[in-house]
Structure 1
C-alpha cells in the first residue's frame, strides 16, 4: 500500500533517511573512534539497503526493513532513554508510526487495543492548508507563524484522559517543487493571508501532488496534563479585579505578543450590551477600544458592516483585516470598522467574539500598526485561548466589590489558623487602598523557606475490597432475579424467560471469572433496560406479585441495587477515616502549642496530612531547627498511635469487613516555598525543583523496593522515605527512642526504591509497629499477635 493513497495533499511523500545519513558521513573521520565506528556501522546498513537512502512510499517496507531502520535510528532512539522518552518516527499529517520508544508503546498499550491514535487539534479540512504553509516557509522563505500546539489525547490505565504535546523535529526532511508546481509570488502570498479558510484558493496555488516530500519526522511528546502554562495565561486574562491594576493591560499585551510571536501589537476590548445592541467601553487602567476609538458607546450596526455584524454577533466567529489601507483604497471606506481603524493608523487587525452558550459578551480587538502581520492564518491561534478569555469574563461578573471576609471566604475558603494572619493583613491592605481611592488588589499569599512534612495512613487493598463487595452484591441481585424468572418460567413456559435465565448465567460466570471495571455498568444497564420491564409485567400476576415485591424490598432506593456488601465496605471506610481524622485533629491542637505550623489533612482511602513549618509562617523571629526535629518526632509518634487506634477499633467495633492499613512518612530535607493558589483554593509548592517533592508525594506509596515486586509500604509497618544520609541518621535516632517506649519493634530495615519518573536515589526505613489492646494496656504485641487476637 502506498503512503500517498486515499490522501489529498500537496505532498508526494517518500520516506528517506538521506539527510540523516549525510550527517553520519561527516562523522566518519571524527577524532573519537567510537563515533567514527558508529557512523560507519550506520552507513554500511544504508549501503546494503539503498532504498533507505533513495526513499520509498510502500508502507510494507517498514516491516521488510524493520531491523535496518531500527539500526539507523539507534542513536535517535537510545536504548538507555527508551523507557523515559516519549518519541516516534513518523510521516507528516498521517498516523503512521514506524519506530517508537518503549515508553510510547507502553502508553498506547495501556490505552487499549481499540484505541485509535489521532492528533487532537489537527482539523482534517485544514491539513491541506497547513501543509501549504510549510511549503511557503521551506521553499519560499515566507515565515508564517502557525505553530499551534498539537496534542494527543490518550487514556491511562484508569481511563483518565491525558494530554501529550507533540514537538516535531524536521531536520531530516527536504521539500522540492515538481516542474509543474506553480511558482508562488508576493501577490499570491498576500492573497493567501486573508483567505485561510478558502481551500480551493490554496489548491490552485499548491495543486495536489505538486511537491515532493522526502525524509521523515521525529516527534517528541511531553505529558502536559498538569502543565501550568495555560493557567498562567488564564491568570493574566481580563477580569473585574484585574482591570483596576495599572500594570494589567501591559501584561495582557505581552501575553498576546508571546502567543502570536509579534512585538508590535495592542489589545483592546469592547463590551456588548445585548439589551441596547451596542458596544460599550470597558473602564479600567490602560484599557481602550479600537472599534469605538474615542466614543463611549456605539450601536453595533453603526460600528460594523452587515457582513462583519453577522460574523461576530450571529455566527460568533472571528475575522481579520490583514491590510487596512488596501481595504480602504479598494472602496471599503464605507465599512465603519475599516474607516475607524484607518483613522487611528492601524494597518492590520483581528476581531474575535467573546461568547458563551448564551451569546456574545464582548469583542477582543488585536491591532497592529504594520500591515499583514495580523491575518486569518495567525488568528487561528486564538482558538486555544478564547475559552479561557470567556471564562475570565464570566468570572469577572462575580468577583466585584467584595468586602474583606467575603474576599477571604470566596477566594480562599477555610484558612488554617497558622496562616490566617497573612490573609487578614492582605484584606486590610485591600480595604485601605479602597478607602484611599486606590484600586485594591488582593496580593498573592506565599511563604518562603518552609520545611514540609507529609504522612499518610492508607488502607491496603481498598480497590480489591471494593471490587469484591461489588461482585458479591451483583451476584446476590442476579441470583434473586434468576430465581424469580425461573419461577415465572415454571408457571408460563415462554422461551424468552429461558433466554434471560441464560443471559443471567453468563453474567454470573463473568462475575466469578472475569470481573472488570465496566462489569457493574453492563449489568446495571441489563437490569434497567431488560429486566425492569419484565418485573413490571410479572408484578401484575397474582401468583408472582409478592415475589416481585420482596425483590424490590431488598433493593436500595438510592443506588437501585442490592447494597449490602458495598455498604459494609463504605461504612468501614467511613468509620476508619472519621476516627483517624478525629485523632489527628485532636493531636494537632497539642502540636500547635509546641510551635505554630501550617497543617491540612484530607480523606481518601485513608487519611493524608501535610505540614509546613518555618519562620515566614510564624511571623516571629523565633524559629529554630529544633522545632522541625520536634515536629518530625511528633509525627512519627502520632503515626504509631494512629496505627494502634485503628486496630483497637477493629477489636472493639468488629468492622463489617477486615481491612489493613499501611503508614508512610515522606522526608524532604530542603526548605521550599509555598503559595496559595486562588483557583484551586489550596497551598502548593512553587518552582521546578520544589515540584519534585509533589511528584514523590503522589507516587512513592506505590513504589517498589529495587529489584523486587514488593511495595515499599506494608501492613503492620511504618515506612519512612528519604534521600539524604543525614535524614537516615536523624530518623534512626527517633526510632531508637520510640523503641525504648515500646512504640516500635526492633526489626529495622533500610531498602532502596526503584526510580520514579525524574526522581532517583530514594531510600526507605521500614520498622514494625508494636500494638496495645487498649490505651491503658502496658503489654505490647506484634502485628501477627494482633491478627490472632482480632480473628479469635
Structure 2
C-alpha cells in the first residue's frame, strides 16, 4: 500500500455538479401527478440561481449569499424535512471529497476539526480510510463504465468519544447515486471482476493493481456525494454478544464460546469456522493469562497441551504483539514468521484472522477466527469485524457472564432490579428467547422499548451543598490549625527549636489563604501539611519533652482516627445531609406505593445531594390495563402535593440537624410523550431517539437555572419551581396551584418567570410558588397569632 504521504497528496479530478439532480427532478416531475409537481416548482425556482446550474460549480458560488436559498432548495429535496435535521448526521461534498460543503451541526460536531476537515478516528488510520475510499471509487467506475458490480462494501465503523460519559460507533453511508464517471481517454478492455483481484490471493481486492490498470487520472467525477452516519451503539447483534460476555462466569467456558462463535459466524456468513478469544491482561508491564481465560483461546487450547510451556509462550508472544487486524491466508509462507506454523498445518487451519481488541487504547484481547478451507475469508471481513470489536472489547474488560437458557435465569442474570410494572415485558422477551432456542435457532435478545410514555421529573436538592461542604471543611481546618499553633507556641517558649517558627509561619499562611478561598488544591496541601510536617514534628515533641506530652495528646485526640484530621463539622454536614435524604426518600417511597395503586407506572429514585426521581406512565408500560390521560393529571397533582409536604418535613427536621441545611424543590413539566429503552450495557432505562435526548439535557441543566436578567437562582428554599417549555403545561399546573391555594397549602403569590439560556437549552420558562408555613412548625408565627388574639 502507498505511504501515508502519498495518500494525503493524492488528488481526484472531482467537480461539484448538481445537473444530475436536476435531471432527476425532470424525470420525477409530472403535471398529472400532484405528488410530483413539487419538482416542477423546484426547476422553475432554480432558474433564479444560474450559478448552481453551471459546470463546474465552485464552493464559493454555493456559499454566496445570493445562492443560499437555491442551495437550500437542493438540500430540502435531498434531506426531507422532519424537524430533526440538527440531530441527523448528514453531509454533502464533491465526489469522494470527504470535507463537506454542507453538513448538519451533528456531523460537524462528531467528524470535523475546527478548520472544517474530516478527523481521522482513533480506531482508523489514513491507509485504512484510503483503501475504503478506493473501494467506493472503483466500484463506481466498474459499474458505470464496465457493467461490473463488486461485492457489497461495508461502511467503516468510526469510534467517537461522547458527553453523558461513553464511545459511540458510527457507520458512514456514502451515497454516490448523483456521481457520474467521465473517462478522459479511451479505456482498456476489462471483462471479468477477477482481473481486479490479486493473482495469488483470489479473494483479495488489490487496490494498487486497480490504480495501475485504471489510474485515477483517466477519469473525472461529476456531481456530489451524500454522507449519512448511523449510530450502531445499540445494534442488536452487538447487544446480544454483550449480554453473553457480561455473564460469562455463570456458565462453562465451552457454552460461552459457543455464543461468541455463533455471533461471528452469523456476521461473516461462514458456518464452518472456529472462533477463539485470547483474553490478555497487563500486570506490571507483562502480558499474562489466567487459567480460566486459556479455555477461550482456540489457538492456545489446540496448540498447547500439558507441559508445552515453550509453545504457550510462543502463542502468547504472537497474540500480545498484534497491533492491527491481520489476515493470514498462506500459512506455508507465514511459517517463517510463525514458529507454530507447522502445528497450525497439522490442525488443518488454512486461514486465520487475528483481530486486536482494545479498551481505552489498551490491548485487552485478540479475536481469533480460523478457517479449514482456502479462500474462506475475504479481506473486507476485517472491516466487517469492526461491528463486533467494540462489544467484545467492552465485554472482555468487564469480565461478564453468559446468558442462561431459562426464563427466570435470563431475567436474573441479564437485568438488575426489574421494576414490577415492566417485568411482564422482560418475561415475554425471555420466553421468546427460550422457545427459539428450543427450536434449534440462534436467538437474540430483542430490544426492550416502551413508546409514547409520559415522563415526570422532580428534584429536592440541598441548597448550596458544595458551598456548605467546603465551609464545613474550612471550619475543621481552622480548628486544627489553631490547635496546632497552640502546641507549637508553647513548645517555642520552653525549647529552642528554629523549625517551630517555620511551622507556625506555615500555619499562619494557611489560615490567611483559606479565609480568602478554599479550593481543592489548597485542601490537599493543608492535609499533606498535617500528615507529613506536623504529625512527625508532634511525635518528636511528645517523645522527647515530657512537658509537651499532654498538649500533643490533646491535639491528636481531636483528630478523626481514620482520616487523621479534625472532621467534626464535616461529619455534622454529612450526617445532616444523610438525614434529609433519608427522611425525604422514605416519605417518597411510602407515598409512591400508594399512588401505584391508582395506575401502574415506572418509578426510579436517585440519591445525590438530595433526592431526584423519574416517573414514566403510559399504555405501553402495562399489559392488561387501560391507560387514561386522567391518570397522568393525577400523578402531576400528586407530584406537586408531595413536594409541598417535603418542605414541611425538612422544616420539622431542621432544628434536629447538627448542620443547618435548606432544600429547594423543582418540577420539570413535559407534556410530549417519549420513548424509553432498556440499555443492556448499563442495565438501566434511558430515553430512546435523538429528539428525546433533549429532555435528558434539560433535566441536567435546570438545577442551575437563573431567572432571566438577574443572577438569582430559580430554585429557592420554601418555594417550588415548575419549569416548562409550552404554555399548555403552564396552564395545567396553574390550575393545580389555584386548587392548592384554596386548600391553604400555597401562598397567593405566583411568579411567572423566564429563564436564562443554558448550554443546549433555551426558551424555558418557570412558575414559582411559595409553600405556606404551618403554624406549629414556626413558633414565632404561633406566638404572634396568640398575641393578636389576646389583643382582640
**TM-score relative to the length of structure 1:** 0.63
Task: Map 1:384-783; keep pairs closer than 5 Å.
Answer: 387-391=393-397, 394-396=399-401, 400=404, 404=408, 408-422=411-425, 445-541=448-544, 542-650=546-654, 652-653=655-656, 655-774=657-776
CA shift digits 1:339-394 (9 cap, x unpaired): 6566xxx6x531357899xx9998531669367716999999998665325247x3
1:177 corresponds to which residue? none
**1:667, 1:727 within 8 Å by CA — same for their partners in 2?**
yes
Q: 2: distance between equivalents of 1:441 and 1:621? A: 29
2:326 corresponds to which residue? 320
Say which is worse superposed, 414-423 or 367-376, in terms of deviation: 367-376
Give the direction of change, closer, same or farther, for the CA distance of 1:780–1:696 in structure 2 (3 Å limit): farther
Say which is worse superposed, 143-152 or 740-749, in terms of deviation: 143-152
Q: How many residues align?
A: 640
Give the direction of change, closer, same or farther, for the CA distance of 1:488–1:83 in structure 2 (3 Å limit): farther
Q: Secondary structure of the residue that 1:726 maps to in structure 2?
A: helix
2:238 corresponds to which residue? 233
In the alignment, structure 1 segments of 5+ residues that lack a partner are 1-7, 24-28, 44-74, 91-96, 101-117, 169-185, 195-219, 258-262, 283-288, 786-792
Q: 2: distance between equivalents of 1:436 and 1:648? A: 62
Q: Secondary structure of the residue that 1:503 maps to in structure 2?
A: helix
**1:416, 1:598 within 8 Å by CA — same for their partners in 2?**
yes
Q: 2: distance between equivalents of 1:557 and 1:454? A: 41
Give the direction of change, closer, same or farther, for the CA distance of 1:475–1:138 in structure 2 (3 Å limit): farther
Q: Secondary structure of the residue that 1:540 maps to in structure 2?
A: helix
Give the direction of change, closer, same or farther, for the CA distance of 1:276–1:166 in structure 2 (3 Å limit): closer
Q: Secondary structure of the residue that 2:567 maps to in structure 1?
A: coil
**1:666, 1:720 within 8 Å by CA — same for their partners in 2?**
yes
Give the direction of change, closer, same or farther, for the CA distance of 1:631–1:308 in structure 2 (3 Å limit): same
Q: Secondary structure of the residue that 2:320 maps to in structure 1?
A: coil
Q: Secondary structure of the residue that 1:589 maps to in structure 2?
A: helix
CA shift digits 1:405-432 (9 cap, x unpaired): x655554443444344555666777888
Q: Secondary structure of the residue that 1:539 maps to in structure 2?
A: helix
Alpha-carbon shift at residue 738 of structure 1 (Å): 0.9
**1:245, 1:441 within 8 Å by CA — same for their partners in 2?**
no
CA shift digits 1:680-722 (9 cap, x unpaired): 3433232333333222222222233445443332333211122
Say which is worse superposed, 407-416 or 475-484, in terms of deviation: 407-416
Q: Secondary structure of the residue that 2:579 maps to in structure 1?
A: helix
Give the direction of change, closer, same or farther, for the CA distance of 1:42–1:661 in structure 2 (3 Å limit): same
Alpha-carbon shift at residue 624 of structure 1 (Å): 1.3
Alpha-carbon shift at residue 677 of structure 1 (Å): 3.7
**TM-score relative to the length of structure 2:** 0.63
Alpha-carbon shift at residue 444 of structure 1 (Å): 5.7
Give the direction of change, closer, same or farther, for the CA distance of 1:354–1:279 in structure 2 (3 Å limit): farther
Q: 1: distance between equivalents of 2:611 and 2:128? A: 51
Q: 1: distance between equivalents of 2:122 and 2:692? A: 32
Give the direction of change, closer, same or farther, for the CA distance of 1:462–1:551 in structure 2 (3 Å limit): same
Alpha-carbon shift at residue 729 of structure 1 (Å): 1.6
Q: 2: distance between equivalents of 1:369 and 1:379? A: 17
**2:156, 2:383 within 8 Å by CA — same for their partners in 1?**
no
Give the direction of change, closer, same or farther, for the CA distance of 1:518–1:776 in structure 2 (3 Å limit): closer
In the alignment, structure 2 segments of 5+ residues that lack a partner are 19-45, 65-98, 142-149, 173-195, 205-226, 280-288, 786-792
Once superposed, what is the RMSD of the aligned Cα atoms? 6.2
CA shift digits 1:646-673 (9 cap, x unpaired): 12322x53x3333222211112212233
Give the direction of change, closer, same or farther, for the CA distance of 1:720–1:375 in structure 2 (3 Å limit): closer
Q: 1: distance between equivalents of 2:710 and 2:444? A: 54
Alpha-carbon shift at residue 569 of structure 1 (Å): 1.1
Q: 1: distance between equivalents of 2:430 and 2:61? A: 70
**1:458, 1:663 within 8 Å by CA — same for their partners in 2?**
yes
Q: 2: distance between equivalents of 1:254 and 1:467? A: 57
Task: Map 1:162-201; keep pairs closer than 5 Å.
Answer: none
**2:605, 2:613 within 8 Å by CA — same for their partners in 1?**
yes
Alpha-carbon shift at residue 502 of structure 1 (Å): 2.0
Q: Secondary structure of the residue that 1:395 maps to in structure 2?
A: coil
**2:365, 2:393 within 8 Å by CA — same for their partners in 1?**
no
